[in-house]
Amino acid sequence: MRVGFIYNIPTEELLRERPEMTLRDSDAPETIAEVTRALEAGGHTVIGLNADRHLPARLGELNVDVVFNIATGVYGETRQSHVPAMLDYLRIPHTGPGVMGETLCHHKHLQKAIYAQHGLPTAPYQLFHSGSEALDPKLRFPLICKLPSEGASMGLDYGSVVHNEADLRQRVVFLIETYQCAALVEEYIDGREFTVAVLGNDPPYALPVAELEFFGRLPIRLDQVEDSNFEMLKTATGRDLELVEMESRSNVPANLPPELDGRITELAIAAYQAVGCKDWARVDLRMDQAGNLVVLEVNLGPGIASDCVFARCAFAAGWTFDQLVNTILNHAVARYPQFNGQAQSQSQSYLGSLALERQRT
């Protein structure tokens, strides 16, 4: 098949317009090369596409059978949904959900509302549009302050966890004024954190669970900006930023008793289904000191490079990187009736073992 592969790489125009988002959203050249090679190993012709302003025109000109999408989009508060919207409008099959699922997962507070409706545990929260809004008296300190619609640790550092209302107000104002958006405040769960790679659709399934090990000042995950991007970021924003190294690592598979492993997996799959995920996603969860699990968030199109936790979960299941990438693609292909068995079987030999087991049953 002809597979369009859509990703984010910085351009001079984007760096001028939105430097921090561009640099944090950018996919590493090594990741793009890895995924391209894996898709080619599955027997496909790969056409690389950057998610910039030229993407709509290029999609209209190219004749691709399916798209493997890891892009976050570019502009607007629901930019993560723009690439799927273009693809759906042009009737191009693609990995991942459509506009609804992408929109829900791009807004953490909407995710949390959905979890509450489904009876899934998540930390109590409040969305602030100004620093003067009354604090919900039901919220208990410590609290953690986040951007509601961004990933890659944007707006997050060790100062994000606050223990009193004065620090909360200061942090909320900083986020609102710096990023020109609302601030999400939720109860901070001081406990163990788990990551679950979930794949598939009918039904979805999970790869071996990973646990984060923290060795920094606080047990929170902070994604590290690459050195070259960090210097560009300081220049572009004009802010005296401090490079915070990632002071955590993921242990895969986690050393968990079967009962806890089962609870984590069950909750992760339920969260994946509740917000309309398709084909693949990463689910992050925490467990408090009493052993209660809560869903932090579901991440669509998570980091997929071979050194990222999603791929390492696949390796723990005995998969190769080629199997992981082509399994994701095949889960998408299986959802579209226009593909026949011949097209779907091109990369069949690269399907992960868990996916093959589900096909047999």
In a domain, 271, yes or no: yes
Average pLDDT (179-189) is 92
Give the CA diameter of the chain.
63
Residue 329, φ and ψ in degrees, nearest 5? -60, -45
Q: Are residues 266 and 172 in the same domain?
A: no
Please provide the size of the chain in residues: 361
pLDDT at 348: 53
In a domain, 287, yes or no: yes
Q: What is the pTM of this model?
A: 0.88
229-245 pLDDT per residue, tens: 666 666 666 666 665 56
35-66 pLDDT per residue, tens: 999 999 999 999 999 998 899 999 989 999 99
Q: Are residues 220 and 255 in the same domain?
A: yes
Alpha carbon 268 to chain centroid distance?
A: 14
Q: Are residues 199 and 143 in the same domain?
A: no
Is the pLDDT reported for residue 255 higher than 80?
yes
In a domain, 326, yes or no: no
Q: Are residues 183 and 206 in the same domain?
A: no
pLDDT at 149: 80
Average pLDDT (174-180) is 89
CA distances from 68 to 131, 158, 219, 356 (A): 40, 35, 33, 20
Q: Are residues 263 and 280 in the same domain?
A: yes
Q: Are residues 196 and 315 in the same domain?
A: yes
In a domain, 146, yes or no: yes
Q: Are residues 148 and 206 in the same domain?
A: no
Query: How many Å apart are CA 243 and CA 225, to the nearest integer?
Result: 8
Query: How many Å apart are CA 1 and CA 273, to the nearest integer?
Result: 28
In a domain, 89, yes or no: no
Of 157, 187, 217, the residue at which a domain comes to its end is 187
In a domain, 245, yes or no: yes
pLDDT at 180: 84
Q: Which amino acid is at 7?
A: Y
74-90 pLDDT per residue, tens: 777 777 889 999 999 99
Structural domain that includes position 216:
192-319+354-360
Q: How many structural domains comprise the chain? A: 2
pLDDT at 170: 96
- The better pLDDT of the pair 291, 354 is held by 291
In a domain, 333, yes or no: no
Tell me the DSSP string of 79-112: GGGHHHHHHHHTT--BSS--HHHHHHHH-HHHHH
pLDDT at 343: 46
pLDDT at 288: 95
Q: Are residues 231 and 260 in the same domain?
A: yes
Angle at the Cα of 280 from the Cα atoms of 279 and 282, rounded to 5 degrees: 160
Q: Report the 3 state secondary structure along 20-36.
A: HHHHHHCCCHHHHHHHH
In a domain, 175, yes or no: yes
The bridge status of strand 192-199 relative to strand 66-69 is unpaired
The tokens describing 333, both together, are: 């292909």
- For residue 230, give the CATH number of its domain: 3.30.470.20
| 108-117 and 99-106 helices, crossing angle to 10° | 100
Q: Are residues 304 and 276 in the same domain?
A: yes
The bridge status of strand 183-187 relative to strand 125-128 is antiparallel
Q: Are residues 173 and 208 in the same domain?
A: no
303-339 pLDDT per residue, tens: 999 999 999 999 999 999 999 999 999 999 999 988 8
Of 169, 187, 205, the residue at which a domain comes to its end is 187
114-162 pLDDT per residue, tens: 999 999 999 999 999 999 999 999 999 999 999 988 765 777 888 899 9
- Mean model confidence pLDDT for the chain: 87
Angle at the Cα of 162 from the Cα atoms of 106 and 263, rounded to 5 degrees: 55
- For residue 155, give the CATH number of its domain: 3.30.1490.20
Q: Are residues 167 and 133 in the same domain?
A: yes
Q: Which range in 65-79, 99-113, 212-226 is most confidently predicted, on average pLDDT?
A: 99-113
Of 145, 262, 280, the residue nearest 209 (C-alpha) = 262
Of 187, 211, 231, the residue at which a domain comes to its end is 187
Locus of tokens 């339920």: 270
Q: Are residues 245 and 180 in the same domain?
A: no
